[in-house]
Structures are given as C-alpha cells and as structure tokens.
C-alpha cells in the first residue's frame, strides 16, 4: 500500500539531521519485520548517507522521493524546504505493512548532477538501488475493510 512521508529539511534541519530522520523512519519500519533487522537498515542508510546529504542539500528530495519497499509497505519519502518546512506537520511513525517482509529495498533518486555519487552509494549495499522503483500495489491490503481507491472513484463519480 502506497504511503507518503514528508520530512522538514532546511531551515528546520541540516542535511545531515534530515538524513538521520529518514534513516530512523526506514529503520523503524524495517525493524517491524521478523526477517529484517534495524541494524541492516541502518547500515544501508549509512552507506547511502553521502548521496542522501547531497540530494537533500540540493533540494532534489523536495521533488524526487526516496522509496522504501518492505513487504506490503511502499513509502515515498520526500523533504520540504524553506518557509513551508517551518509549518509542516511530520508523521515519523513506522509504516504499516513491513511485518511480513523478508527483505527491503531503498530506492534513491539519481538526478543528473549526482548520478555517479548515487551509483557509488548503491553499489555499497545490496538493499539500495538507483533504479526506478516498481509501481505500488493498487489492491487493498489483506484484511482491509475499505478499498480507498474504489471509494475515491465512487465519490468522484457523483
């Protein structure tokens, strides 16, 4: 199920502090899995940190998300900068859907000025990728009581 999280960057946080918030979100989510560990998620994010800092400082994550896929969890993580960052409300809770994950992947965007830095980072850990993430599953999560997409279509058709 597709989720989105927006993290306040500059002037609320430095690029390093913002990357740490993103790391914590990824690690908290992955840690809900019995098969994946927080330590593994933190190691992947530490490997990606040089690229992550550049993507945040350059404002690239304001437009291009980092995507975490772990089991049924599919989350696009973006940043928000400037005056809007001062007013944003963050949801930093672990994402639902990762409990049954047997693996996870963090997809990093690779805009032109940073393609090589991102490529070098993802080469350093098996759980990182610079490829386009797969499209989110459009079916409702197992056991879901409401199909949100079907409800949106029904309301829009009125």
* Location of structure tokens 């990606």: 48
* Location of structure tokens 């032109």: 112
Q: Residue 131: is its pLDDT beyond 60? A: yes
Among the listed residues 153, 66, 155, the one whose alpha carbon sits nearest the alpha carbon of residue 111: 66
- Name the pLDDT band for 152 (thresholds 50, 70, 90): confident
User: For position 1, what pLDDT does the model report?
Assistant: 78
DSSP reduced 3-state for 74: strand
Task: Report, as an integer, the average pLDDT of 115-142.
Answer: 86
Helix (H) or strand (E) holding 63: none
User: For position 158, what pLDDT does the model report?
Assistant: 66
User: Which two three-digit tokens encode residue 9?
Assistant: 């960057």
Tally Cβ neighbours within 10 Å of residue 124. 14
Which residues are CB-contacts of 46 (< 8 A; sequence separation ≥ 6)? 23
Contact status, residue 31 vs residue 38, Cβ threshold 8 Å: yes
């Amino acid at each position: 199920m597709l989720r989105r999280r927006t993290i306040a960057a500059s002037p609320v946080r430095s690029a390093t502090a913002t990357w740490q918030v993103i790391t914590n979100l990824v690690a908290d989510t992955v840690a809900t899995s019995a098969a994946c560990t927080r330590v593994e998620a933190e190691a992947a994010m530490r490997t990606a940190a040089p690229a992550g800092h550049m993507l945040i400082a350059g404002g690239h994550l304001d437009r291009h998300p980092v995507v975490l896929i772990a089991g049924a969890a599919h989350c696009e993580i973006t940043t928000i900068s400037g005056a809007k960052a001062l007013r944003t409300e963050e949801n930093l809770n672990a994402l639902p859907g990762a409990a049954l994950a047997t693996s996870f992947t963090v997809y990093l965007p690779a805009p032109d000025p940073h393609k090589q830095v991102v490529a070098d980072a993802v080469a350093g850990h098996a759980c990182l990728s610079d490829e386009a993430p797969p499209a989110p599953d459009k079916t409702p999560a197992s056991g879901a009581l409401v199909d949100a997409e079907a409800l949106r279509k029904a309301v829009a058709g009125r």
